[in-house]
């Protein structure tokens, strides 16, 4: 998953700036339509967005688009990840409505569906929060805390929440996405204070 995300970023966002311009990449590099807003999508079907089977459009819930910008960006990256990773599966299962999409998901084996979703979540997080930029941002945050006389180690989860919220704003994602990535990339807690607290 990590290699796929790194290849994607090298190809479609070589500038390496953050936040990653996911809307522009989808619309201009992939020539996909972003269909927004679709009112009540989440309320009725418990999904924030979905990818069309022809892989030409992503539909997003109106409330996500209007009120949750970080979730909106993640939904776009998640659906794009499905297009990158699961193209064959989507092309084999045609659906034109949200009801047909919901049936398609329900018909999948629960374990298979969980695996597909995990892959899309992982790649979306890796695209929106590139590993090296996350590492650099985290190290800067720990240094700033140390210079202010704060021990990240002693503050523990409070420090993690603060750092994740700050980095989330920079990357244009939720604090939850940053927390998960910090743990997956083993930046928290083992190496959290290794440099600045010596």
User: What residues have CB less than 8 Å from 90, skipping those under 6 apart?
Assistant: 51, 53, 55, 82, 83
* Residue 86, domain CATH: 1.10.10.2910
Residue with tokens 């700036």: 17
CB 51 within 8 A of CB 117: no
Domain shared by 99 and 172, yes or no: no
Does residue 83 contact residue 90 with C-beta atoms inside 8 Å?
yes
Residue 58 CA: distances (Å) to CA of 35, 61, 83, 151: 6, 10, 10, 43
Statement to judge: residues 124 and 139 lie in one domain: no
- Residue 28 DSSP label: I
d(CA 63, CA 37): 8
Residues 138 and 115 in one domain: no
- Residue 58, helix vs strand vs coil: strand
User: What string of pLDDT tens digits covers the 198 residues of the chain?
Assistant: 899 999 999 999 999 999 999 999 999 999 999 987 667 777 776 788 888 888 899 989 988 999 999 999 999 999 999 999 988 877 777 766 667 777 777 777 788 778 888 999 999 999 999 999 999 999 999 898 888 888 887 888 888 998 999 999 999 999 999 999 999 999 986 544 433 333
Q: For residue 70, what pLDDT is reported?
A: 97
Q: Please report whether residue 189 resides in a domain.
A: no
Residue 189 has what pLDDT? 65
Task: Residue 19: give the domain boundaries.
Answer: 2-128
């Amino acid at each position: 998953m990590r290699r796929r995300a790194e290849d994607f970023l090298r190809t479609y966002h070589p500038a390496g700036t953050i936040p990653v311009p996911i809307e522009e990449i989808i619309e201009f590099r992939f020539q996909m339509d972003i269909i927004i807003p679709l009112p009540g999508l989440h309320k009725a079907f418990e999904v924030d967005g979905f990818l069309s089977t022809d892989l030409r459009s992503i539909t997003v819930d109106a409330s996500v688009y209007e009120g949750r910008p970080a979730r909106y960006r993640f939904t776009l990256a998640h659906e794009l990840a499905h297009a990158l990773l699961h193209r064959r599966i989507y092309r084999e299962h045609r659906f034109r409505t949200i009801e047909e999409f919901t049936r398609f998901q329900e018909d999948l084996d629960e374990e298979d569906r969980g695996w597909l979703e995990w892959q899309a979540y992982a790649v979306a997080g890796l695209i929106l929060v590139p590993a090296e930029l996350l590492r650099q941002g985290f190290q800067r945050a720990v240094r700033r805390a140390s210079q202010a006389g704060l021990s990240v180690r002693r503050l523990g989860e409070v420090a993690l929440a603060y750092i994740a919220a700050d980095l989330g704003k920079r990357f244009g994602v939720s604090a939850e996405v940053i927390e998960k990535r910090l743990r997956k990339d083993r930046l928290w807690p083992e190496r959290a204070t290794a440099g600045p607290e010596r």
